[in-house]
Amino acid sequence: MAFQAVYQYFWMFFIYAFLGWCAEVIYHAVSDGKFLNRGFLIGPVCPAYGLGVLSVILCFGHLKENLPLLFLGSAVVTSILEFAAGFILECFFRDKWWDYSKEPFNICGYVCLRSSMLWGLACVFILNEIHPFIEHLIAEVPQELGIPILVISSVLMLADASVSVSETLKLRKKFDFLSDKENRSADIGVFQARILNAYPRLKSGRYKDIVYRIKVHMDKGSIKKDLLPLSPDSPQSIRENLPIAFYRSTFETVVDVLEARDKYTAGHSRRVAYLTYRFCKVLKIPPLETEKLEMAASVHDLGKVGISDAVLNKCGKLTEEEWAEIRRHPDIGADIIMKCEKLESVAEIIRHHHEHWDGSGYPGGLIGDEIPKGSQIIAICDAVDSMMIARVYRPAFSRENCIEEIKNCKGTMFCPELADKFVSGWDYIVSDLYSGSLP
C-alpha cells in the first residue's frame, strides 16, 4: 500500500511539473510572442510546480469540498515554497530572479499578496477540476510500464539538475570575473546562454551591464545568436545601446549641473525621463531601446549649457533674437553627445525633440515620420511636464486641460497615434508624479 502511494506521488510530481512548464511556455508565447523555456532545468519540467501541487494535495487534498480553507491553505503552502525558491535562486547570483518589492504586502520581494492569491485560486481549480482526471490517467498506466518511466525520468532530472546547477555557478563566476575588468573575454557556453534566456531579470538587475557585453560578444560570432535572443533591436543598435548603462552616472551628473543653472526647470529633465520610461512601457518598446530613450530624455535639454544665463533665466518675454538663441539648444546638446561615437543615435534623438509633426518645429523642420520615433516620444513627455508645472507667467495645467491640449495638438505638434496612446495611458504614465515627489 505504501509503495502504491509513493508510486502515485511520483507520477503526480512529474505530471504537474510538466504542466507547470507548459503553462510558463504558453504564457510567454502569448505575452512575448516567442518560445521561452523559463524552467531552471533544461528539460520540459519545472520541479517547483510539481512540488507545490503535490504539497497541496498531501496537506489539503481531503478538503476539496471546503473551498475557503482549501484556498487559504494552498496560498500559504505555495507562498512558503515560492519564498524558499526565490531565496535559493538569489543565493546563486546574489540578485533576485524575480522581485515583488514594488507590490503591496510583499515579503522580502520573494512573495506578495497578489501572487499568493493567484496560487491559491489555481490550486483550488486544479484539485477540483484537473486532479480527478490525473488520478484516472495514472491508474490507467500499467505499473510494469510506469515504474521504468519514473526511474528514467528521475535519473534524467537529477542529471539535468546537476548540469544546471554547475553551469549556473560557472555563469556567476563568469559575471564576477567580468566585473573586475571590462576588457576580459565575454564568451559563455550554450547552457549558460540558456540560463540567461530563462531568467530575463538578469538582464535588468545588478549584472545588466555585463549581460549587455555578453550579448555584444555573442553578436560577434562566439555563439549562436538565437540561444540568447537580443530583442528586436539590430546588432548595430545593440552596440550603440551598450555604453548607455556605463554612462548613466555621468548622465546623472550632467543633469545635476544642467538643472542647477535653470532654476525654473529644476527636476524637469528627471520628470521627462520618468514619463518617457513609462510611455515606452505603454508602447511595448524593447528594454534596450527604452534604456536609450530614457537616457536621451534625461539630457534632452543638455544644449542649454550653451545658452547665456540672461536668456535662460529671463522672466519677461523673449525677443526674436533670444528665441533664436534658445532654438539652438537641441543642436548644441546633440553636438556635445556626438563627441562619443557610440551615442550617435542618442544625439539624433536629442537634436530633433523640438520638431513638430506638421514640420513647423526646429532645428530641421522635419515632417511626420521623418522625425525619429524617440524624438516624437520625448516631445510629448517634454510638453506634458511643461504644462503640468507652474511657471511665473501662468499656473500649472490641470489633468483635464493638459489632456485636452494634447488632443488639440494631434497632427500639428504631435504624432496623432502617439498622442492618442499617451492620453489612453495617462493614469499609468503620469500616475501621481505631480502630486508628490518624483518616484
User: DSSP assignment of 8-59, as one string?
Assistant: HHHHHHHHHHHHHHHHHHHHHHHHHSS----SSSSSS--HHHHHHHHHHHHH
Q: Measured on CA atoms in the order 139, 142, 146, 147, is the torsion positive or negative?
A: positive
Confidence band for 139, pLDDT divided at 50, 70 and 90: confident
Residue ranges covered by each domain of the chain: 2-164, 181-233, 238-430
Position of cell 490641470? 398
pLDDT digits (tens, 9 = 90+) for 378-395: 999 999 998 988 877 788
Examine the pLDDT at 345 and tell me if it is beyond 90: no
Average pLDDT, the chain: 79
pLDDT digits (tens, 9 = 90+) for 303-314: 888 888 777 777
Minimum mean pLDDT range among 46-60, 149-163, 168-182, 275-289? 168-182
Q: What is the pLDDT of residue 383?
A: 94
Bigger pLDDT: 109 vs 173: 109
* DSSP-assigned letter for residue 368: G
pLDDT digits (tens, 9 = 90+) for 35-56: 777 777 888 888 888 888 888 8
Q: What is the pLDDT of residue 354?
A: 93
Examine the pLDDT at 78 and tell me if it is beyond 80: yes
Give me Rg for the CA atoms of the chain: 27
Confidence band for 239, pLDDT divided at 50, 70 and 90: very low
For residues 13-42, average pLDDT: 80
Nine-digit cell string for 45: 519540467
Q: What is the pLDDT of residue 394?
A: 80
For residues 4-14, average pLDDT: 87
Examine the pLDDT at 417 and tell me if it is beyond 90: yes
258-267: long-range pairs with CB below 8 Å, 24+: 258/299, 258/301, 258/302, 258/304, 258/305, 261/304, 261/305, 261/309, 261/312, 262/301, 262/304, 262/312, 262/313, 263/313, 264/313, 264/391, 264/392, 265/301, 265/389, 267/438
pLDDT digits (tens, 9 = 90+) for 97-133: 777 877 888 888 888 888 889 888 988 898 888 888 8
Examine the pLDDT at 223 and tell me if it is beyond 70: no
Examine the pLDDT at 242 and tell me if it is beyond 80: no
Minimum mean pLDDT range among 26-30, 179-183, 301-305, 328-332? 179-183
Bigger pLDDT: 322 vs 359: 359
Q: What is the pLDDT of residue 241?
A: 46
Distance, in Å, from the CA atom of 301 to the CA atom of 351, rounded to the nearest integer, reads 10
Q: What is the pLDDT of residue 423?
A: 94
Phi-psi category of residue 15: left, alpha or beta, with phi > 0 → left and psi -120 to 50 → alpha: alpha
Bigger pLDDT: 415 vs 324: 415
Q: What is the pLDDT of residue 215?
A: 60
For residues 165-186, average pLDDT: 64
Confirm if 385 and 287 have CB atoms less than 8 A apart.
no
Q: What is the pLDDT of residue 384?
A: 94
Nine-digit cell string for 26: 504558453
Q: Measured on CA atoms in the order 157, 159, 163, 169, is the torsion positive or negative?
A: positive
The three-state secondary structure class of 437 is: coil
Confirm if 406 and 279 have CB atoms less than 8 A apart.
no
Bigger pLDDT: 361 vs 168: 361
Confidence band for 286, pLDDT divided at 50, 70 and 90: confident
Examine the pLDDT at 243 and tell me if it is beyond 80: no
For residues 274-299, average pLDDT: 88
Q: What is the pLDDT of residue 104?
A: 85
Q: What is the pLDDT of residue 163?
A: 84
Examine the pLDDT at 231 and tell me if it is beyond 60: no
Class of residue 10 by CB neighbours under 10 A (exposed 0-12, middle 13-18, buried 19+): buried
For residues 423-435, average pLDDT: 85
Distance, in Å, from the CA atom of 373 to the CA atom of 293, rounded to the nearest integer, reads 10
Among the ranges 126-140, 334-348, 401-415, which has the highest mean pLDDT value? Answer: 401-415
Q: What is the pLDDT of residue 217?
A: 55
CATH number listed for the domain at residues 238-430 = 1.10.3210.10
User: DSSP assignment of 134-155, as one string?
Assistant: HHHHHHHS-HHHHHHHHHHHHH
